[in-house]
Chain A
Amino acid sequence: AQSVTQPDIHITVSEGASLELRCNYSYGATPYLFWYVQSPGQGLQLLLKYFSGDTLVQGIKGFEAEFKRSQSSFNLRKPSVHWSDAAEYFCAVAPSGGGADGLTFGKGTHLIIQP
């Protein structure tokens, strides 16, 4: 079964600084990979996804993520964060071969933006 690890429970970044949130997955083949964001009191919104092809994928709100097969990672990046980016971020993986359980989510990383 696939699994997802987000090593950082909390990340604090100054407004305007760059951001990188880490995600590592465990799966035998190349999975489908996702990043979601959850603002306080809201559901999860899809930021971006990776299936195949170009390993650098662009998403909404200025986010991007890079798939690195050799490191089993799919880290989320943003060059300059805004106060509105403060939220919970979830990495998720789905088996490319299909699977009854659908997506497996990480525990999330809480992003705090300092003024």
Chain B
Amino acid sequence: ETGVTQTPRHLVMGMTNKKSLKCEQHLGHNAMYWYKQSAKKPLELMFVYSLEERVENNSVPSRFSPECPNSSHLFLHLHTLQPEDSALYLCASSQDLTARLHYGYTFGSGTRLTVV
């Protein structure tokens, strides 16, 4: 247990479904992130939140919609996904944006998403 909890661990959804991924951290961190991990590709940074404000949006399709209601919770809302969106989605946190450069991230275990 790293202190960053992601649910569900596995998710299978159809292309017309709407689902949400949840991330929760109780480390007192102020920055949270969504990463996409696909086979044979580097981790892709999707979204960055600092103090509940979105800081970066790295050209992610609009079918992915993040939400950060407070500093401990981060959601990724999914709708009308494509099969190529199947991947491991990782949530991470850091004390703040600068701390990630000095100390790295604390990652959750991820949600394995399969789009059928």
Q: Is A36 an interface residue (CB 8 A)?
A: yes
Other-chain residue from B42, B98, B110 in contact with A105 (beta carbon distance below 8 A) = B42
Q: Is A94 an interface residue (CB 8 A)?
A: yes
Most buried by B among A4, A32, A43, A96: A43
Chain A residues within an 8 Å CB radius of B104: 34, 36, 46, 49, 92, 103
Other-chain residue from B45, B102, B109 in contact with A101 (beta carbon distance below 8 A) = B45
The interface bits of chain A over 23-61 (1 if a CB of B lies within 8 angstroms of the residue's CB, else 0) are 000000000101010000111111001010000000000
Q: Is B81 an interface residue (CB 8 A)?
A: no
Other-chain residue from A36, A99, A106 in contact with B101 (beta carbon distance below 8 A) = A99
Distance from B74 Cβ to chain A, minimum over Cβ atoms (Å): 14
Chain A residues within an 8 Å CB radius of B102: 32, 49, 51
The number of residue pairs between A and B whose CB atoms lie closer than 8 Å in the complex comes to: 68
Q: Is B90 an interface residue (CB 8 A)?
A: yes
B interface: dominant SS: mixed
Closest to A100 in B: B56
Contact of B42 with A43 in the complex, beta carbons under 8 Å: no
- For the complex with contacts A43-B4, A43-B107, 8 further pairs of A-B residues with Cβ separation under 8 Å are A4-B42, A42-B109, A43-B90, A43-B109, A45-B107, A92-B104, A98-B98, A98-B101
Contact of A107 with B40 in the complex, beta carbons under 8 Å: yes
A90-B43, A106-B42, A107-B40 given; A44·B90 CB < 8 A: yes
Chain B residues within an 8 Å CB radius of A104: 42
Other-chain residue from B101, B103, B108, B110 in contact with A95 (beta carbon distance below 8 A) = B101
| Residues of B in contact, count (CB < 8 Å) | 30
Interface size class of A (residues with CB under 8 A): 20 to 34
B29-78: which have CB < 8 Å to A? 33, 40-43, 45, 48, 55-56, 58
For the complex of A and B, list the 7 residue pairs with the smallest distance between their C-beta atoms, beginning with the closest: A43-B107, A94-B101, A105-B43, A44-B107, A43-B109, A46-B104, A105-B42
